[in-house]
C-alpha cells in the first residue's frame, strides 16, 4: 500500500522546484535511451509514477502510444496541460488502480521502493499483469552502497534545502526537503534500496526475470558534478529490464 508520506512529499517537491526550466532535450535523450534498452520496436507503453509526464510526452511525440499513472493530482494536471492530447493520463494509486489494458513496455523510473518488501512484491505482480506476454518492464532500483556513502550530504535545490540520510536497519535512503523560512513543513522521501541479488529474488517471486542491467550515474560531491554513468557498485540507482519467466 502507498505510504502516508508519498503524496505530501511529491506535491511539495513539485511546488518548490522550478517548473519553467526547459528539459526537452534531456527527456528526448532519455526517450532514446529507453528505446535502446527495450531493444526492439514497441507501440504501447505504461509509465507509472510518471511525475510531470516529460518522458511520456517525449515518447508520445516519437510515435509511442503512451499511458501514465500518477498519484498526485497537481502533477497529473500539469502533465495533461503540456501533453497536447498525446498521452492518456490517469490519476491514482498504482497499488489499487485498475487498468484494463496490457502494454509492450511498463516503466517505473526514480521511485521504486516506497513501501515494504511485501508492497514491492505486490507492485511487481501488478507490473506482471500489465505486461504483454512478450513485453518487458524497465524499473529503476536504488543502490544501497551509494546512499550509505552520501548520508549527511546537504544541498539547495531551487527554493528548498535538502539532506540525505540512510536507515541502516531498514536499508532505506531518506531524502528530506524543507524551506528555510518554514522548517516545520519538512517532507521526507523513504525508499528501500536493493542489491542486485535482492531485487532479482523479489522479481522471481513475481514471475519475472532480469534480462538486462543498466547502471546509472552518481553525484561527485567533491567536484560538485554529476557523472552520467558509473560502475554498478558506485551508481545511485541502476535500471533492470525484466520479462516474464517462460
We report the CATH number of the domain holding residue 203 as 3.40.50.150
Q: Are 142 and 171 in contact (CB under 8 A)?
A: no
Strand order of the sheet with strand 237-244? 87-91, 65-70, 44-48, 103-108, 131-142, 237-244, 208-215
In this structure, is residue 117 part of a structural domain?
yes
In this structure, is residue 91 part of a structural domain?
yes
User: pTM of the entire structure?
Assistant: 0.96
Q: Which domain holds residue 100?
A: 6-141+195-217+236-244
In this structure, is residue 109 part of a structural domain?
yes
Tens-digit pLDDT string for the chain (246 aa):
567 899 999 999 998 888 877 788 999 999 999 999 999 999 999 999 999 999 999 999 999 999 999 999 999 999 999 898 999 999 999 999 999 899 999 999 999 999 999 999 999 999 999 999 999 999 999 999 999 999 999 998 888 999 999 999 999 999 999 998 888 889 999 999 999 999 999 999 999 999 999 999 999 988 889 999 899 999 999 999 999 998
In this structure, is residue 122 part of a structural domain?
yes
Amino acid at each position: 500500500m502507498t505510504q502516508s508520506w508519498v503524496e505530501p512529499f511529491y506535491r511539495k517537491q513539485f511546488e518548490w522546484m522550478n517548473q519553467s526550466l526547459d528539459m526537452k532535450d534531456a527527456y528526448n535523450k532519455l526517450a532514446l535511451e529507453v528505446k535502446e534498452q527495450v531493444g526492439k520496436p514497441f507501440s504501447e507503453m505504461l509509465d507509472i509514477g510518471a511525475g510531470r509526464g516529460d518522458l511520456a510526452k517525449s515518447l508520445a511525440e516519437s510515435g509511442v502510444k503512451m499511458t501514465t499513472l500518477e498519484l498526485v493530482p497537481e502533477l497529473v494536471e500539469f502533465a495533461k496541460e503540456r501533453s497536447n492530447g498525446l498521452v492518456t493520463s490517469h490519476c491514482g494509486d498504482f497499488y489499487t488502480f485498475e487498468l484494463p489494458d496490457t502494454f509492450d513496455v511498463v516503466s517505473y523510473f526514480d521511485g521504486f521502493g516506497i513501501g515494504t518488501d511485501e508492497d514491492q512484491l505486490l507492485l511487481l505482480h501488478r507490473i506482471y499483469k500489465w505486461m504483454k506476454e512478450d513485453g518487458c518492464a524497465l524499473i529503476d532500483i536504488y543502490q544501497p552502497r551509494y546512499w550509505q556513502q552520501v548520508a549527511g550530504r546537504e544541498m539547495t535545490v531551487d527554493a528548498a534545502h535538502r539532506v540525505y540520510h540512510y536507515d541502516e536497519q531498514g536499508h532505506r535512503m531518506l531524502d528530506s526537503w524543507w524551506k528555510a523560512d518554514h522548517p516545520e513543513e519538512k517532507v521526507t522521501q523513504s525508499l528501500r534500496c536493493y542489491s542486485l541479488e535482492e531485487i532479482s529474488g523479489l522479481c522471481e517471486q513475481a514471475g519475472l526475470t532480469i534480462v538486462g542491467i543498466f547502471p546509472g550515474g552518481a553525484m561527485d560531491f567533491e567536484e560538485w558534478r554529476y557523472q552520467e554513468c558509473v560502475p554498478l557498485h558506485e551508481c545511485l540507482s541502476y535500471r533492470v529490464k525484466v520479462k516474464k519467466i517462460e
